[in-house]
Amino acid sequence: MGRKIEFFIDNDNGNVKIKDYLKHRGVSHRMLCVLKRTENGILKNGVGARSIDILNSGDTLTLNLPSDEGTASAVPADIPLDIIYEDDDILVINKKPDIAMHESHNHRCDALSNAVAFHLMKEGKECVFRSVGRLDKGTSGIVVCALNKFSAAKLSGKIYKEYLAVAGGEFYGDGVIDKPIIRPDPMKTLRDVGVGGERAVTHWKSLKVKDGCTLLRIHLETGRTHQIRVHFKSLGAPLVGDDMYGSTDKRLSHQALHCCFVRFTHPVTEQIMEFTAPMPDDMNKLT
């Protein structure tokens, strides 16, 4: 059996069906189905229960998540991790810019997934890599990983992020870029702005202008692949170091983009969690 999660039912949450209580707590229908198929997946006061059973004030509801044992995941590799926070449900990491998120034909056993799998193996935990969102190779900063299916389901699409970027142009004040993003060639990862694409909205604020470049604080209203990079390229100001999107500035060997702040509700405790990560040294030197 995997992670066990317990809820104590208080006076404000009594006289409700288990399935309705779990829905209120953000548990998806898919996750509920998984729990129903799991032996002793749902217990009320230590006894097996159905999702239609009634919870009363003072009851204890226990969820026994299925184990991930045997689930295919990344091969563990001893790669250093900069861990910001860890508990039984989440792992928060400050990713270096030169590491990819997942293994590929170009990255065998040298990705973040390999490093996390090794760390979890050492901790005696199941070595399944579940990043909630992703950062491109070349982008540094905060990555949140869910350590079980329950946490992954509750966090999906629920993490607020802010970025720091250095654009190759001068920007003052603040602004919004609202341009749809297309994928011109389905065989390539390259994106562009174009009619008929998916709506993409980027909010930016200028922090500092230096040597014809601008340090920006950015948050996204939408989350499209390469969104920040594509939007600033469309303004004629690709991110410093981003040769994929037209930068000729060689002061960085990767795009000047860093996830500096995240905020989300903890999937189990429901506390508001906030984390920050400083810009890497090479980006700092630009500002």
pLDDT above 70: residue 145:
yes
Distance CA(14)–CA(21), nearest Å, equals 9
Q: How confident is the model at residue 199 (pLDDT cuts 50, 70, 90)?
A: very high
Q: What is the CA radius of gyration of the chain?
A: 22
- pLDDT, position 107: 65
61 close to 46: Cβ distance less than 8 angstroms? no
pLDDT of residue 15: 87
At 67 the pLDDT is 76
Residue 66 has what DSSP assignment? P
Is pTM beyond 0.85? Reply is: yes
- How much is the average pLDDT of 183-198? 94
Which CATH code fits 70-156? 3.30.2350.10
Q: How far is CA 287 from the centre of its chain?
A: 27
pLDDT, residue 69, reads 56
Read off the pLDDT of each residue in 6-34 and give the average, rounded to a whole number: 89
Q: What is the pLDDT of residue 254?
A: 96
Note the pLDDT tens digit of each residue in 74-99.
888 999 999 999 999 999 999 999 99
**So what's the pLDDT on residue 143?**
98
Residues noted as catalytic: 136
Taking only the tens place, the pLDDT of each residue in 218-275 is 999 999 999 999 999 999 999 999 999 999 999 999 999 999 999 999 999 999 999 9
Residue given tokens 């006061």 in the structure block: 45
Position 11 scores a pLDDT of 85
pLDDT at residue 12 is higher than 90 = no
pLDDT the model gives residue 104: 75
Which runs of E-coded beta strand occur in 53-183? Answer: 54-55, 60-64, 83-86, 90-95, 140-146, 160-167, 174-178, 181-182
- Provide the pairing of β-strand 140-146 with 257-265: parallel
Structure confidence at residue 28 (pLDDT): 85
- Is there a contact between 265 and 234 (Cβ–Cβ < 8 Å)? no
Cα dihedral: 72, 98, 151, 269 (round 10): 150
Q: In the chain, which segments carry CATH 3.10.290?
A: 4-64
**Residue ranges, CATH 3.30.2350.10, the chain:** 70-156, 161-259
If pLDDT is split at 50, 70 and 90, which confidence band does 278 have? very high
Lowest-confidence segment of 28-37, 62-71, 184-193, 225-234 by average pLDDT: 62-71
Let me know the angle formed at the C-alpha of 254 by 250 and 260, rounded to the nearest 5 degrees: 125
Which CATH superfamily includes the segment(s) 161-259? Pseudouridine synthase (3.30.2350.10)
Q: Which residue has the tokens 């994928």?
A: 183
- Distant-in-sequence, close-in-space partners of 14: CB < 8 Å, separation ≥ 6: 55, 56, 57, 58, 59
> Domain 4-64 adopts which CATH fold?
3.10.290
Q: Dihedral angle at the C-alpha atoms of 26, 28, 29, 33, nearest 10 degrees?
A: -110
* 19 half-sphere exposure, CB direction, 13 A CA radius: 11
